[in-house]
Amino acid sequence: MNTQRPGTAAASAPASGWAIELEKINKRFGAVHANKDIDLKVARGTIHGIVGENGAGKSTLMSILYGFYTADSGTIRVNGAPHAITDSRHALALGIGMVHQHFMLVDNFSVLENIILGVEDSGFIKPSLDRARKELDRLEAEYDLEVDPDAIIEDISVGQQQRVEILKALYRGAETLILDEPTGVLTPKEADDLFRVLETLRAQGKTVILITHKLREIMAITDTVSVMRQGEMVATLKTAETSPEQLAELMVGRRVLLRVDKTAANPGQTLLEVQNLVVNDDMGVTRVKGVSFSIRAGEIVGIAGVSGNGQSELLEAISGMRDQKAGQVLLKGTALSLEGDDGAARARAAGLAHVPEDRQRMGLVTSFSEWENAILGYQNSPQYGSGPFLDIGAAKKAAAEHIKLFDVRPANINLKTSLFSGGNQQKIVLAREMERDPDVLVIGQPTRGVDIGAIEFIHNEIIKMRDEGKAILLVSVELDEIRALADRILVMFDGSIVGEADPATATEGELGLMMAGIGKKEAAE
């Protein structure tokens, strides 16, 4: 591969010195070369971003630095001295702390108890707690990180929980903080708050390594950015001297269109109508509280919201996977009967296709071959065999067509589906649902865990369907995606639709406030 290294920045030692230096790090998992000769230098007192697609090796590299994995070869230097980091305790002792994507907190403990967990002074808790409380006061004041030390974790917001994780690392004496995809679970407002905290940390001389796939965040907060692709470090750049387009190109290895080109919507008759829908989750908790909206032909309606505000249950109820407690779903004016555990079959028969949020758990049977998944949900269609028999030839033919139309790689219909990459798995699901020519397409998280190159393709396919006069319901936690694709945005908070916005005029700030449940409460429709 021809590796381009445009302006390998920050090669000479900075005045503050290097906090972390990685040299020729190699790591293999069986046949997979996850890290190839990685060099990385992080200057003390800076925010250093690492970007790359899924599977580029970012997490592996950070796990090596934090002592989860041992590198096959290479050197790690912390503050100039070489160390063989054997476990995370060792990393902590060297002043390296990590804030994981999924928080490592005990939900029914208080903030203070979580902070001393594992670093208690003695067998008795009380002295540790007292000492920790003083120390915490100091840290909170110094870094402007306000958290009530006596609050129980499960009662505080996700943003607050993240602060606890940061405080935990600082309490353990971290000088260098690694944050793995920290904004995935935050509202835009909470993300902004986090960035302010990171800036304070930098001002106090701490070093931050930020792993993310959101280029916007890289541009907003980092000083230096490193790009990884397929296990290699392809470039390290000064953030001020680069652009999102350049970073995207480095990540994918070819030019990528970040913006979606689309014409104005030309909506026709109402195709999908949802009236006062109430849905419970598996625990019997009401998650969708009387939602109403409608979608017309040739229109994409996006539902924005922080994950866990009822969007999943809404999608599952509309597509017939989950029983609805009240309300109804009308397709072309006819109410869909979605009761029973085969409701999804009737929804499909009526012309409603569903690309689920979680393709591996719902949309695919990953232990099946590609062709077997190409007919999932449509297995009873006469196209795939008459009577009780399955026409395997017809199914394979359809699968081959899907693969060709959606450029699924590798183009092998007999390959086990779990062996395809996330983006290609998503294409398999999209091809199956789109090629049946449904009237209404319901899509959840169309590009979660999908590479940038495939995102572009998927977005274009969704726009194409809209232009063919289909009604599309799009649910995504990626606000950028909703804003790029939707013709109308509905914001969902705590099971209700709290507002509607026009993507052309709404600012991120307005949407962010609505997503947090604050602000104008317009009735949708």
Partner 1 sequence: MSARRPLPRWADIALLPAINLAMAFLVSGLVVLMVGENPLHAIQVILYGAFGYGEGLGYTLYYATNFIFTGLAVAVAAHAGLFNIGGDGQAYVAGLGAVVVALALDQTHWLLAMPLAVIAAGAVGGFWAFIPGWLQAKRGSHVVITTIMFNFIAAALMVYMVNRVLKPATTMAPESATIAVGGRVPQLRQFFSFFGYSPVNLSIVIAILALIGVYILVWHTKFGYAMRVLGANPTASRYAGISNSKMIMITMTISGALAGMVAINEVMGVQNRLVLDYVAGAGFVGIAVALMGRNHPIGIMLAALLFGALYQGGQELQFVIPGITREMIVVIQALVILFTGAMEGLFRPSLERAFMLFSPEQKTEAIAVSTAKSES
| Nearest-approach distance from CB 180 to partner 1, in angstroms | 18
> CA quadruple 369, 375, 379, 383: dihedral positive or negative?
negative
Question: Number of residues in contact with partner 1, rule: CB under 8 A?
Answer: 45
* Of the candidate residues 287, 348, 402, 470, the single one contacting partner 1 (CB under 8 A): 348
Which residues, 6+ apart, have CB-to-CB distance to 167 below 8 Å?
Answer: 111, 115, 136, 139, 140, 145, 147
366 near partner 1 (CB under 8 A): yes
DSSP conformation class of 507: -
State CA 276 to chain mean position distance.
29
AA identity, residue 42:
V
32 near partner 1 (CB under 8 A): yes
Cβ closest to partner 1, residue 333 vs residue 387: 387
344 near partner 1 (CB under 8 A): yes
* Of the candidate residues 13, 365, 411, 518, the single one contacting partner 1 (CB under 8 A): 365
* Of the candidate residues 13, 220, 392, 518, the single one contacting partner 1 (CB under 8 A): 392
346 near partner 1 (CB under 8 A): yes
77 near partner 1 (CB under 8 A): no
**What mask, x for binding partner 1 by CB under 8 A, covers residues 308 to 327?**
-----------xxx------
393 near partner 1 (CB under 8 A): no
62 near partner 1 (CB under 8 A): no
Phi first, then psi, for residue 252 (nearest 5°) are -95, -30
* Of the candidate residues 269, 337, 379, 507, the single one contacting partner 1 (CB under 8 A): 379
3-state SS string for 258-327: CCCCCCCCCCCCEEEEEEEEEEECCCCCEEEEEEEEEEECCEEEEEECCCCCCHHHHHHHHCCCCCEEEE
Give the CA diameter of the chain: 77
Q: Tell me the pairing of strands 352-355 and 440-444.
A: parallel
| Nearest-approach distance from CB 383 to partner 1, in angstroms | 12
* Of the candidate residues 137, 142, 241, 341, the single one contacting partner 1 (CB under 8 A): 341
* Of the candidate residues 372, 456, 481, 487, the single one contacting partner 1 (CB under 8 A): 372
Q: With contacts defined by CB under 8 A, name the span among 46-54, 294-302, 377-385, 438-446 that binds partner 1.
A: 377-385
26 near partner 1 (CB under 8 A): yes
Phi first, then psi, for residue 312 (nearest 5°) are -60, -45
Nearest to 175, CA basis, from 62, 68, 66, 19: 19
Per DSSP, the three-state class of 524 is coil
Q: With contacts defined by CB under 8 A, name the span among 121-129, 167-175, 385-393, 517-525 that binds partner 1.
A: 385-393
Interface positions with partner 1 (CB under 8 A): 26, 28-32, 69-73, 319-321, 340-348, 354, 356, 361-368, 372, 375-377, 379-380, 384-385, 388-390, 392
